[in-house]
A and B are shown apart, each in its own frame.
Chain A
Amino acid sequence: KQEVTQIPAALSVPEGENLVLNCSFTDSAIYNLQWFRQDPGKGLTSLLLIQSSQREQTSGRLNASLDKSSGRSTLYIAASQPGDSATYLCAVRPLLYNFNKFYFGSGTKLNVKP
């Protein structure tokens, strides 16, 4: 069964810092990987989706990379702002079995201090 791990569980940084969030998965047979943010009391907002054939995706200050062979993805946030404070989750979609399911990590709770 696919297992997705996110480390650290929580991170606190001063405003303006560049930071990296990590996501690892145990089964490299994935179709895609998606990063989300979740604000308190809200649902998940999609940030970036990387297909298995891609190495990275960029949107504004966000850059997500994927290394399928090592079972890792990173989300890079440049010049962090207090508005980036949220919980960030990654999810992988299997390539073969359980194709309809996305497997989620438990998230990294980010606090950007003004």
Chain B
Amino acid sequence: GAGVSQSPSNKVTEKGKDVELRCDPISGHTALYWYRQSLGQGLEFLIYFQGNSAPDKSGLPSDRFSAERTGGSVSTLTIQRTQQEDSAVYLCASSRVLFRTGLNSPLHFGNGTRLTVT
């Protein structure tokens, strides 16, 4: 696709329910990131996927959060037993990896999923 696609764009859920957020990165981008942006706050790193390597999960705030990336493309972020403090915009980003240097090109972000837990 032309850009990073995220769905749904908005999600309202009741406290205690599970939610699943989806990210479809730009074709050919092997690096994929999930970030969380709370109102008036900077972006908080959640998880990073690079090709077939083990993901960097060091930013996940609790064991209620998990993410997977199937076939090196689409990623889903799952939040179990949602709490009100989980309300935020969840942003996905992808980038190419420059294999000669092993380093990434610019990050490209999706429009995010606004999650509201009532």
**A interface residue numbers (CB < 8 A to B):** 4, 31-32, 34, 36, 41-46, 49, 89, 91, 93, 98, 100-107
Within 8 A of A (CB), among B4-59: 4, 6, 33, 35, 40-43, 45, 48, 50, 56, 58-59
- Besides A43-B109, A43-B111, A103-B45, 17 new A-B residue pairs in contact (Cβ under 8 A), listed by A number: A4-B42, A32-B103, A41-B114, A43-B91, A43-B93, A44-B109, A49-B106, A89-B42, A93-B104, A100-B56, A101-B45, A102-B43, A102-B45, A102-B107, A104-B35, A106-B41, A107-B42
Task: Enumerate chain B residues within 8 angstroms of A93, measured Cβ to Cβ.
Answer: 104
Number of interface residues, chain B, beta carbon within 8 A: 27
Q: Knowing A101-B45, A104-B43 touch, does A45 contact B109 (C-beta < 8 A)?
A: yes
Most chain B C-beta atoms within 10 Å of own C-beta, residue among A4, A45, A103, A104: A104
